[in-house]
Amino acid sequence: MDISTGICRFGLWRVRVEWSEEAHLIHRISFTRSGDDSPVPQAVSRYLSGKAESFDPYGSIALSRGYPFYDIYKAVSEIPYGEVRTYSEIAEASGTHHRTVGVAMRRNPTPLIIPCHRVVSKTGLGGYSPDISIKKDLLNLEKKVLRKKSRSANAASDEDRTQDLNCV
């Protein structure tokens, strides 16, 4: 299987992506401070710019049955865009201990696709490697996109009501 590598910018960070085009699988995503921009799958750049909420058609290698922490990664991958769950909630959903969830999040090979930034502690954000600012930025990006969608939907709804009034 041919593996491609690319780097794109996300705020002050660079996002390094390793993927297989023919298998539509992302093998690794990591954050770094250096590196020259080079092509990444369009799904990744669209997500990071707030233009997409998923990575279709790409999936994560960690969502392959038999992969270590598969049940945890599956539960995390089902957290809706813009929402968060606690380590304890993920532990309950995957039938494991909340500390094991923390270990799995640290070892997550494909953050973003398995959105570990959406897993928080009961008392705050919890951790994120290599820097908690990335977790904050990703959560803020998702909130911003959802607010924008909500405003657009409300504007469309207001327009529909106005048109209804004009028809009377």
Report the pLDDT value the prediction gives residue 29, as an integer from 0 to 100.
97
For the question of residue 116 being annotated catalytic, the response is yes
What whole-number distance in Å separates Cα of residue 55 and Cα of residue 113?
7
One-letter amino acid for residue 27 of the chain: H
Would the pLDDT of 159 be above 90? no
Helix (H, G, I), strand (E, B) or coil at 86: strand
Indicate whether 22 belongs to any domain: yes
Is 158 domain-assigned?
no
Give the count of domains, the chain: 1
* pLDDT tens string 102-140: 999 999 999 999 999 999 999 999 999 899 999 999 999
Which candidate in 29, 116, 141, 145 is catalytic?
A: 116
Residue range of the domain that includes 55: 4-151
Whether the per-residue pLDDT at 64 is higher than 80: the answer is: yes
Specify if 76 maps to a domain: yes
Q: What is the pLDDT of residue 106?
A: 96
CATH assignment at residue 95 = 1.10.10.10
**Mean of the pLDDT values across residues 40-66?**
94
Q: What is the mean pLDDT of residues 55-74?
A: 95
Average pLDDT across the chain, whole number? 91
- Kindly state the tokens that stand for 132: 């908690």
**pTM for the full model?**
0.86
> Is there a domain that residue 15 lies in?
yes
